[in-house]
Amino acid sequence: MGEPQHSLGTLTVVGVGLIGGSLAGALKAAGCVSEVIGYSRSQRNLRQALELGLIDRWTTDLTKAVAGANIVVLAAPVFAVVNIFARLADTIGNDTLVTDVSSVKQPIIKAARTHLGENFTRFVPAHPIAGSEKSGATAARATLFRDHWTIVTPVSETDSDAVTCITGMWRAAGSRIIEMPAADHDRLLAMTSHLPHALAYALVAQLGEQVGSDVSLQLAAGGFYDISRIASSDPVMWRDIFLSNREQVVARLQEYRESLGSLADLIAAGDSDALTEWLERARDLRERIGALRTDNEAP
């Protein structure tokens, strides 16, 4: 974990699930928060978060949750975050910083600008590139962000001190920081995150449509099981992501359809040399990704 230079004060986590709970746990482990308040609609999940030591207290009243908070982290599904902004406008303090963890940035920024008024300058949009197919407070772990990237997408109005504080928070959680425009984020994540999840769901849906699907399920415990792992992710969360970034997701799906068409043509033509070359290019690129991942994880 990174070493915080000073306490971040009171942290309110709106949505104490995998990401929100892991961030809370990481910051508590780093000793850089004085108190963590959890908020969600599920009392059961909040009680679990308290038992796990991720939060110090909880409430299902948003106004009470953010009262006196130094930082509010919005870690709910995209459409829920959009709706929360309207409720935050009259409840957060003038010095409170607000950030999010959403996988889509442009709709989030638009909603924040619409509802937060003067407080918009203290909103720092962010997205940690870490996660799991599991959800809820019980899936949280304090090491989730260690050596993973967090993308920060401030806009021209964003206060520079607010950006410094939020990036410091993510570094304290063990994350690496990269800044980019929100539009670039949504385009890139549509390829590297949103498309793979869409394909995993589609692959499992196709399996369910096969004749003798019961037998297919029994035989899907190897490579199929590995490649479809992320189809176990929260459907509500991914519904929101697909719809809120629909233009980019649909564009990537159309590109993938073309790539599949090229592969189908090579197989149908029986062109051994061309097919081998196509597969080798893909394999070599995958190995480059693996090498970059190893380099990023190096101490």
Q: How many CB atoms lie within 10 A of CB 292?
A: 10
- On average, the pLDDT of the chain sits at 91
- pLDDT score of 298 more than 50: no
Contact 149, 174 (CB under 8 A): no
Give the tens place of pLDDT for each residue, 231-254: 998 899 899 999 999 999 999 999
State the Cα–Cα distance between residues 98 and 191, nearest whole angstrom: 27
State the Cα–Cα distance between residues 31 and 290, nearest whole angstrom: 33
**pLDDT grade, residue 41 (50/70/90)?**
confident
Distances (CA, A) of 154 to 103, 105, 113, 183, 240: 15, 10, 12, 11, 22
pLDDT: is 177 or 293 the higher one? 177
State the Cα–Cα distance between residues 48 and 65, nearest whole angstrom: 17
Least confident of 181-190, 206-215, 232-241: 206-215
Contact 178, 151 (CB under 8 A): yes
Which domains does the chain carry?
10-180 (3.40.50.720), 185-297 (1.10.3660.10)
Residue with tokens 């380099």: 295
Angle at 218 between CA 286 and CA 192, to 5 degrees: 25
State the Cα–Cα distance between residues 283 and 266, nearest whole angstrom: 17
State the Cα–Cα distance between residues 51 and 253, nearest whole angstrom: 42
CB within 8 Å of 167: residues ≥ 6 apart? 150, 152, 177
Burial bucket for residue 42 (CB in 10 Å: 0-12, 13-18, 19+): middle
State the Cα–Cα distance between residues 53 and 127, nearest whole angstrom: 24
- Which helix H or strand E contains 224, and what residues bound it? helix 223-227
Does residue 230 come out as left (phi exceeding 0), alpha (psi in the -120 to 50 range) or beta? alpha
pLDDT: is 3 or 295 the higher one? 295
Give the tens place of pLDDT for each residue, 121-150: 999 999 999 877 778 899 999 999 998 999
pLDDT at residue 261, as a whole number? 96
| Percent over 90 (pLDDT), the chain | 75
* β-pair type (149-152, 126-128): antiparallel
Distances (CA, A) of 72 to 125, 176, 217: 12, 20, 43
Least confident of 68-77, 205-214, 271-280: 205-214
Mean pLDDT, rounded, for 168-188: 97
CB within 8 Å of 38: residues ≥ 6 apart? 12, 13, 16, 20, 24, 46, 49, 50, 54, 55, 57, 58, 59, 65
